[in-house]
Amino acid sequence: MTPEELLARVLYRDALTIVLDKPAGLAVHAGPRGGKNLEQLFDHLRFDQSRSPALAHRLDRDTSGCLVLGRHRKALQRLGKLFSQGKVDKTYWTVVIGKPPALQGRIDRPILKITPKSGWRMVTDPKGQPAVTEYRVMGQGDGLSWLEVKLHTGRTHQIRVHMEALGCPVLGDPIYGGGIAARPGLFQNLHARRVVFQLQPKYQPIDVTAPVPDHMRPALLACGWQGEAQQDQVRS
């Protein structure tokens, strides 16, 4: 990604925060093995600040959409509290294979990290950490379902693990769903569609929506999405 492409992905900016439209396929930070990541480019997002912004939370490598950054230490501290206290309203869109058992529901299943020889992964397990996900079916078609998802906890791979437990793995997910969800050349269909948070009580909440990425458009259209001109059916 070039600096110009990064700047074009800035969805919101003020003195304290930046919200980026993260692309799928790029890690937000360097993992144990290193490699290209979004943090390497943050120096281009200084604008009028003397220091680069920093991550206020994380998104998986193959998840796209709203990524919140703090522009200085105090802002990061405030954002950290909001995220840890569950005061950031995050809405995801995902396309899954199959149909959920109900048009809307709540998945309350603890999630545990396991480390088999094949590599670590997350599973639902009573011994794990509490994890609660709410979903609502927005449309269906071609054997797929378009869901709006809200998280009440922030566990690693939570949506992907809970969708697998529901019997409807995320389209394009290479890990969860027993391989039936993976499609060659397709990123997983999981998008951080909208984020809402109030960093300063005296001001209106920050409310940002990320456009649908190109790799999700075919599946969403098959499920009845009418394009960005269609008014979002996101819950308030």
Please report, as a single letter, which amino acid is at residue 230.
Q
For 103, residues 6+ apart whose C-beta sits below 8 A from its C-beta are 136, 137
Strand partners, 135: 105, 149
Strand partners, 31: 34
Say if strands 64-70 and 190-197 run parallel, antiparallel, or are unpaired: parallel
Cβ atoms within 10 Å, residue 218: 14
For residue 200, the SS3 value is: coil
Please report, as a single letter, which amino acid is at residue 29.
H
Q: Which of 60, 62, 89, 173 is catalytic?
A: 60
Burial of 94 (0-12, 13-18, 19+ CB in 10 A): buried
Cβ atoms within 10 Å, residue 60: 18
State the residue for tokens 């290193």: 34
Q: How far apart are alpha carbons 9 and 23 in whole angstroms? A: 9
- For the chain, what's the residue count? 236
Q: Is 173 a catalytic residue?
A: no
Q: How far apart are alpha carbons 142 and 127 in whole angstroms? A: 37
- Which positions are annotated as active-site residues? 60
